[in-house]
Amino acid sequence: MGSSSRRQFLKRSSAVAAAAGVAAAAPATAARALAGGNSAHMSSDASADAGVAALPDDDTVSVPVVAHVRDVRKGLVALYTGEREVIVKNRRLAAALYHASRG
């Protein structure tokens, strides 16, 4: 049964809108940053950082961001921060998170 509501719809709308932006940006930022953070690649290869997006350096850095890979094959990742949920469809990001979780 559906559990949507006007309020949830509004939340979803904002999430989808945000997702569109993040999804577009993700290949150049999040996915690359995560790939750079993969222990298999990060050890001593300084050049791996070359394409990584600049790390933020403001108060938002201390706010937790939780990633939930909902469907790695479809590239669906839910990001939770503050009171927001951002849905990203990005196979590289999902794959990077999956591989990172494998250690």
Contact flag: residue 81 with other proteins (CB under 8 A): yes
Distance of alpha carbon 8 from alpha carbon 36, whole angstroms: 35
Q: In angstroms, what is the minimal distance from the CB of 7 to other proteins?
A: 7
Contact flag: residue 103 with other proteins (CB under 8 A): no
Q: No. of H helices and E strands in the chain?
A: 4, 3
Distance of alpha carbon 32 from alpha carbon 51, whole angstroms: 7
Q: In angstroms, what is the minimal distance from the CB of 82 to other proteins?
A: 7
Q: In angstroms, what is the minimal distance from the CB of 51 to other proteins?
A: 28
